Chain A
Amino acid sequence: MTSTEIAAVRPARTPRRSGPRSTLTRSSGLGLGIAMIWFSALVLIPLMAVVVTAIDGGWDVFRSTITNGQTAAAIRLTVSTALGVTVVNVIMGPLIAWVLVRDRFWGKSVLEVMIDIPFALPTIVAGLVLLSLYGNDSPVGIDIANKRPAVFLAFLFVTLPFVVRMVQPVLEELDRDVEEAAASLGASRFTTFRRVVLPSLAPAIAAGAALSFARGVSEYGSLVLLSGNLPFKTEVTSVRILSSIENDNVPAAAAVATVLLVISLAVIVLLDVIQRRVAARG
């Protein structure tokens, strides 16, 4: 008797569910089809093209590009700075959102609009603003032009709204009753936040963090002016990719792009795992 036959004569055992059953109707199937075409044309195909271009160049080109000291330094700087900025945003974002949702104060609506400015501003304008404030002729006496903090600052500037804007609506929807219930059960404000509020915010924080990291890794406009793009020091990957293209070395550019793609994907997956842990813990 084979194992499949054994399984067949045991009707009491419920079959393991292989996943959610499809609920597609003809019209929603059409919708899904359109969505997939749209998604493929805009995202999947270009992404695949980058990877294919990188592979086309051959493994040797790929490896020599990645192990090139200048490129590796640029990748290290970009990824570590983006991670650092994301950590700052994960702490500051919910804090700002909390103030905006829970407190009433003079000038709140102005602040509300200001949060979005880094979003709305063309990045090169942001770069100009940063340069005039923190450049060589800094009116406040802080000169970080051509130094690494310039990259950090530029990332911080452009990624500010992400976590705030993701957390804000969730916080608004949060039931105040739940916090009061925790308080009447004896929980301090900190414990209430950690065990009751934070698990509800975790998915929004993670989503904001992912956006903020992705934006950091891809940033170009806001930092080129202030950072000076010094190889091994303040050069980021987007600048490195651009110079590869300018030197007609498309496979090298694609190779760097592919590495960034893989890192971004890994970070997004990691954030999702962390988010699930926090949301389930309580």
Chain B
Amino acid sequence: MSIEVTGLNKKFGDFVALDDVNVTIPTGQLTALLGPSGGGKSTLLRIIAGLEKGDTGTVNIEGVNATNLPAQKRNVGFVFQHYAVFKHMTVAKNVAFGLEIRKRPKDEIAHRVDELLKLVHLSQFAHRLPSQLSGGQRQRMALARALAVEPSVLLLDEPFGALDAKVRKELRDWLRRLHDDVHVTTVFVTHDQEEAMEVADEIVVINEGRVEQVGTPDQLYDEPANDFVMSFLGEVTHLGGVSLRPHDIDLETQPLLAGAVEGSVSRMVRIGFEVRLHVLTVDGDEVSVIITRTHARSLGLEEGSTVYLTPAAGATVIPRMAAVG
């Protein structure tokens, strides 16, 4: 196992950032730390990097106890949300920085920088200053800089958070492909569940300083450990005492199935191919249901229609707990 965090606690004044966190991060995989802002995921990443110190607990990196090692000695690559470029140095100089610190021979550095710039598609910008690059290019440069020192783990703190939606999506795909090529153990922090599910092999869900669940994207989506995980990974609605996804509800205009809950459509919004319905049930619940445009048309639905709702076969259903989401 590449990174092992045990019994980690961290407080900032009275605020508990991390509360007895235990996480193991597997070697060679891409792991996402997912959770809402202020949930402690960035703090965990910074403690792994040695940029912050935990109050209690230990951090092991590749079998070495790194708890008291300074950031300089941990051999981790770190990528910041706002790029943290050395703005007075050229792109090539930025990438070479870690190698120059390690006093590698000049021609070796030049060769390696060349290789990395090719990897991140910035070869033609080698002699530019970072201010002449776009946000996405700067972040790729920062990634090359972090990879230059051949880190044992690569840590990315909301790496695409400062970029616009389109670039974010491109870089996300690109990071996944890069990881498939380079295979360095990678941990990235994000609050975007779509990003985590699309890119990561494994997701660690963190909320209020605690680990809520660890698993593959499918495991988290299909078998959420609790209401929080379920609601954080996607939309959740409540039907007759259970929580489930709005698109996992069967909707009919006749009471065909036993146990179907009767209600009337109170609001209908069409977004592209899907139709979002708010159904007021006879029990007084407001349930949201998502069906396809075609389905809605075939049923002839309109506001005020009487409908019957049942959880779909194979739906992810968990008992309803405290009001979350």
Binding site for B on A (CB under 8 A): 175, 177-178, 180-188, 191, 195-196, 199-200, 279-280, 282
Closest to A191 in B: B101
Q: Could you tell me which residues of chain B, from 139 to 158, have a CB within 8 Å of some CB in chain A? A: 142, 145-146, 148-149
- With contact pairs A175-B82, A185-B97, A185-B149 given, residues A180 and B88 touching in the complex (Cβ less than 8 Å): no
Question: By the criterion CB–CB under 8 Å, are B101 and A184 in contact?
Answer: no
Contact of B102 among A177, A186, A279, A282 (CB under 8 A): A186
**Of the candidates A180, A181, A282, which one forms a contact with B93 in the assembled complex, judged by CB atoms under 8 Å apart?**
A282
Chain B positions within 8 Å of A187 at CB level: 72, 97, 101
The complex places the Cα of A22 from the Cα of B116 at a distance, in Å, of: 40
Contact between chains at A177 and B88 (CB < 8 Å): no
Q: Contact between B85 and A184 (Cβ–Cβ < 8 Å)? A: no
Q: Which residue of B lies closest to A186 (CB)?
A: B101
Give the residue of B80, B85, B101, B102 whose beta carbon is less than 8 angstroms from that of A180. B80
Shortest distance from the beta carbon of B92 to any chain A beta carbon, whole Å: 12
The complex places the Cα of A183 from the Cα of B97 at a distance, in Å, of 11
Smallest CB separation, B139 vs chain A (Å) = 12
| A118 vs B111: C-alpha distance when bound (angstroms) | 54
Do the beta carbons of B102 and A181 come within 8 Å of each other?
no
Q: Which residues of A contact B75 (CB under 8 A)?
A: 186
User: Is the pair A181, B88 in contact by a Cβ cutoff of 8 Å?
Assistant: no
- Given A178-B86, A184-B76, A187-B72, 11 additional A-B pairs, CB 8 A: A177-B80, A177-B83, A180-B71, A181-B78, A181-B142, A184-B146, A185-B145, A186-B102, A187-B101, A196-B86, A279-B88
Q: List 21 A-B contacts (CB under 8 A).
A: A177-B83, A177-B84, A180-B71, A180-B84, A181-B86, A182-B86, A184-B49, A184-B74, A184-B76, A185-B101, A185-B145, A185-B146, A185-B149, A186-B101, A186-B149, A187-B101, A188-B72, A195-B86, A196-B86, A199-B88, A279-B88
| Contacts known (A280-B88, A282-B88); A181 close to B101, Cβ less than 8 A | no
A177 x B89 contact (CB < 8 A): no
Q: A200-B88, A282-B93 are in contact. Are A184 and B82 (CB under 8 A)?
A: no
Chain A residues closer than 8 Å to B98, beta-carbon distance: 185-186
A199 to B, closest residue via Cβ: B88
Which residues of chain A have C-beta atoms less than 8 A from B149's C-beta?
185-186
Q: Is B51 located at the chain interface by the 8 A CB criterion?
A: yes
Smallest CB gap from B76: residue in A:
A184
Is A183 a contact of B51 with CB atoms below 8 Å? yes
- Is B50 interfacial (CB 8 A cutoff)? yes
A110 to chain B: closest CB distance in Å? 25
Which 9 pairs, one residue from A and one from B, show the smallest C-beta to C-beta distance?
Answer: A177-B84, A185-B98, A181-B84, A184-B78, A183-B71, A199-B88, A186-B101, A177-B80, A282-B89
Residues of B within 8 A of A188 (CB): 72
Judged by a CB distance under 8 angstroms, whether B35 is at the interface is no
User: Total contacts A to B, CB within 8 angstroms?
Assistant: 68
Minimum CB–CB distance from B137 to chain A (whole Å) comes to 17
**In the docked arrangement, what's the CA distance between A180 and B72, Å?**
9
Of B75, B88, B101, most A-chain CB atoms within 10 Å: B88
CB distance from A183 to the nearest CB of B (A): 4
A180 touches B51 (CB 8 A): yes
Question: Chain A residues near B86 (CB, 8 Å)?
Answer: 178, 181-182, 195-196, 282
B77 within 8 A of A: yes
> Does B88 lie within 8 Å of A184, measured CB to CB?
no
Chain B residues near A184 (CB-CB < 8 A): 49-51, 71-72, 74, 76-78, 146
Across the interface, which residues of B come within 8 angstroms of A180, CB to CB? 51, 71, 78, 80, 84
Distance in angstroms from B114 CB to nearest chain A CB is 18
Instruction: Name the B residues within 8 Å of A195 (CB-CB).
Output: 86, 97
- Bound complex: CA A182 to CA B78 (Å): 10
Q: Does A183 lie within 8 Å of B82, measured CB to CB?
A: no
Write the nearest CB–CB distance from A8 to chain B, whole angstroms: 32
For the complex, give the distance between the alpha carbons of A188 and B85 in Å: 17
Point out the residue from A177, A182, A199 that lies within 8 Å of B97, measured CB to CB: A182
Can you list, as one digit per residue, whether each of B113-145 has a CB less than 8 Å from chain A (1) or not (0)? 000000000000000000000000000001001
* B38-69 interface (Cβ within 8 A of A): 49-51
Q: Which residues of B contact A175 (CB under 8 A)?
A: 82, 84
Residues in B with CB closer than 8 Å to A178 are 84-87
Instruction: Give chain A nearest CB distance to B244 CB in angstroms.
Output: 42
Residues of A within 8 A of B142 (CB): 181
Bound together, the chains give a CA A195 to CA B51 distance in angstroms of: 19
Q: Which residue of B lies closest to A198 (CB)?
A: B88
Task: Enumerate chain A residues within 8 angstroms of B85, measured Cβ to Cβ.
Answer: 178
Complex interface residues of chain B between 2 and 59 (CB less than 8 A to chain A): 49-51
Closest-by-CB residue of A relative to B90 is A282
Within 8 Å CB of B93, what residues of A? 282
Bound together, the chains give a CA A188 to CA B75 distance in angstroms of 13
State in angstroms the CA–CA spacing of A158 and B136 once bound together. Answer: 48
Most buried by B among A175, A183, A185, A195: A185
B51 touches A186 (CB 8 A): no
Shortest beta-carbon distance, A188 to chain B, in Å? 7
Q: A183 to B73, alpha carbons, bound, how many Å?
A: 9
B294 shortest CB reach to chain A, Å: 50
Q: Given the complex of chains A and B, what is the CA–CA distance between A185 and B93 in angstroms?
A: 13
